[in-house]
Amino acid sequence: MNPQFGNLISVTSRHLALRDGIRSEGKPLVADVAYVGVRIGGTPFLSTQWR
């Protein structure tokens, strides 16, 4: 595992923090979509250019 990305627990907690931050702004649907997006798009198994 690349240490830049952290372990599963720290990555998941950052994703949840993003979701909760968006939710606290009164956008629960956007928060859920963003959460799903970072969970799917952030997988190390995809060859994405930002990795």
- For 42, residues 6+ apart whose C-beta sits below 8 A from its C-beta are 11, 15
For residue 8, with 0-12 CB atoms within 10 Å meaning exposed, 13-18 middle and 19 or more buried, which class applies?
exposed
Number of other CB atoms surrounding residue 23 within 10 Å? 16
pLDDT tens-digit map of 5-50: 567 788 889 999 999 999 999 999 999 999 999 888 776 676 766 6
Q: What is the pTM of this model?
A: 0.71
Torsion of CA 14, 16, 17, 19, to 10 degrees: 130
For residue 1, with 0-12 CB atoms within 10 Å meaning exposed, 13-18 middle and 19 or more buried, which class applies?
exposed
